[in-house]
Structure 1
C-alpha cells in the first residue's frame, strides 16, 4: 500500500450511538441510529486496497495471529477507539470528489472487519449508497460466515487473503484452520462476487511450488477471481511487534528476490489468472 497523505489519520472523538442492523435500504438507514465499533485508524491510499485512491478504514481486532502481520497493533479490538459510523462517514465525505475522480472508493480493512459485522455492514452500506463509492472488503475469510448476504450485497469487491494451501503451514502462519476461508471463497463464487486474491510469498514458508500451485488451482476453479496480488514478504512491521513487546519470529527470514516473485506469478498465470 502506498500512502498518499502521510501516516494513518487519527480517529477523532465521536458521539455515542446504538447498534443497528446492516444491509438496510437507504431510507431505513436514515431513520435508525448508526452503529459504532472499534476503529484503529483511517487513511487515503493507493495500491493493493482496491482500484484507484481509497478511503481505507482499519477496524481493530483480528482472530488470526499471522507471523508476518505488518499491523500487529490492530490485532486486539481494545487497541482501537470506540467510533460511530457517523464519524467515519463524515471523514470519508471530505474526500469523495477526489476519490471518485481517481476511479477509487472505500475499503474496510483491519484487523478483520468481519469481527465487527454489524458495524462493518453499516459502513459498507453508507459508503455505497450515501456516498456513492465503490466498496471493497479486505478479509482473511476466516469469519466469512458472519457476513450476511445483505452485507455482501453492499460489497463491490472482496480482497481475499489465502495465505497458504498446505493446511499445516496455514495453521502455523495464522494460528487458525484454512477451511473457513475456502468455504467463504466458494460462497463468494456462488454469489458471483468479484475477488482479488492476495498471496504473501514468504521464502522458506509459503514459496514451495506445490503450495503456490495449490492456491492457484483453487482460485482458477472459482471463476470470480479477476486478479491475484503476489505480495513479497517484508519486515516493515517488525518495529510494531517490538513496541508491543512481542518477538518477531520471522526476523531472520529474507524478503523474496525478484526472480522468486516472478516465478510465483508465473504459477498463477499458468492457471489462467492475472497475477500482478
Structure 2
C-alpha cells in the first residue's frame, strides 16, 4: 500500500493553476531556500499519513467546483520527493477527468516521465540560474533541475514558470538575462511570472527555532518587480 505524508490541504485555491483548485501540500523538502516561507514543510517525518485512495475521496467532494479548468495542484514541500504517492494520486485524478498540476522546484529523480505523463501543468519555480549560486541559495545542486527540464521537454505537460526576485540576489540585469536563456530551453511554456520576495513567513522560523538568514533584507518592491518582469518578457518568444 502506498502511503504519503500531507502537510495541509487547501480546498479553494485560486493562484496555483487555472480555475478553482484543491491545493495539496506534500510534506518534506530537501531544499533550504534562504527565502522559504514554509519551513514547516521541510521535515519528511511530519505531516498526516494518507493513501492515494483516501486523498481521492476528499478531492472528489470538491469536484463540482472544478469549473473553468479547475482541478488539483500538488505542492509542498517538494512533491517530487514522494514519487510513488504523487504518481498514484495523479493517476486517480486522471481516471476522474480532473485537471492536474504540480508546483515544484524540479528537484526529483524518480519516475519523472511517468509523473509528467499524468500532469497537465507544471508550475516550475526556478530558484537560480547557475550552479554555484543555486547551491548557495538552496543548499542543493542545480543538476536535478536540469534533468527535470529534460523530462518536461519529453512530455506534453504545459509549463508556468515562476521566479522569486530577491533584492541584491536575483534582481540584476545579467541574472535576468541568464534566466531568459534558461526559459528559452523549456518547451510548452504558457506563462512566466516574477514574484517579489516577501517576509510573510518569517514568524514561522521563530516558532520552529530556526535561523532566518535574510532577516535584515527588506521585501522586494512590487512595482520594480513588475518592471523587471516586463523587461524579462521582451523578446522572449515562448
TM-score calculated relative to the size of structure 2: 0.94
Query: 1:258 and 1:150 mapped to 2: Cα distance?
Result: 38
The offset of 1:47, in angstroms, is 4.1
Query: 1:102 and 1:43 mapped to 2: Cα distance?
Result: 18
Instruction: After the TM superposition, list the runs of 4 or more consecutive aligned residues in structure 1 that deviate by more than 6 angstroms.
Output: none
The offset of 1:106, in angstroms, is 0.4
Pair 1:108 & 2:74 matched: yes
Query: 2:47 and 2:192 mapped to 1: Cα distance?
Result: 30
CA 1:40–1:105 in 2, change beyond 3 Å: closer, same or farther? same
Give per-residue Cα distances to partners, 1:27-84, cap 9 Å, x unaligned.
Answer: xxxxxxxx21111111024343111111011110111111111111011111211112
CA contact (8 A) 2:107 2:145 kept: yes
CA contact (8 A) 2:75 2:103 kept: yes
How many residues are paired up?
238
Residue 81 of structure 1 is aligned with which of 38, 45, 48?
Answer: 48
TM-score calculated relative to the size of structure 1: 0.81
1:21-40 matched pairs, under 5 angstroms: 35-40=2-7
CA contact (8 A) 2:128 2:170 kept: yes
In the alignment, structure 2 segments of 5+ residues that lack a partner are none
In the alignment, structure 1 segments of 5+ residues that lack a partner are 1-17, 19-34
The residue that corresponds to 2:128 in the other structure is 164
Residue 147 of structure 2 is aligned with which of 183, 204, 208?
Answer: 183
Residue 120 of structure 1 is aligned with which of 62, 83, 86?
Answer: 86
Query: 2:78 and 2:151 mapped to 1: Cα distance?
Result: 18
The offset of 1:273, in angstroms, is 5.1
The residue that corresponds to 1:193 in the other structure is 157
CA contact (8 A) 1:216 1:267 kept: no
The residue that corresponds to 2:95 in the other structure is 129
CA contact (8 A) 2:24 2:74 kept: yes
The residue that corresponds to 1:71 in the other structure is 38
CA contact (8 A) 1:228 1:273 kept: no
SS in 2 for 1:210: helix
Give per-residue Cα distances to partners, 1:6-34, cap 9 Å, x unaligned.
Answer: xxxxxxxxxxxx1xxxxxxxxxxxxxxxx
CA RMSD of aligned residues (A): 1.6
Query: 1:82 and 1:240 mapped to 2: Cα distance?
Result: 22
Pair 1:53 & 2:20 matched: yes
The offset of 1:266, in angstroms, is 2.1
CA 1:250–1:180 in 2, change beyond 3 Å: closer, same or farther? same
Residue 8 of structure 2 is aligned with which of 41, 50, 54?
Answer: 41
Query: 2:137 and 2:5 mapped to 1: Cα distance?
Result: 25
Give per-residue Cα distances to partners, 1:97-148, cap 9 Å, x unaligned.
Answer: 112x242110111111111100000111111213x210001111121x2134
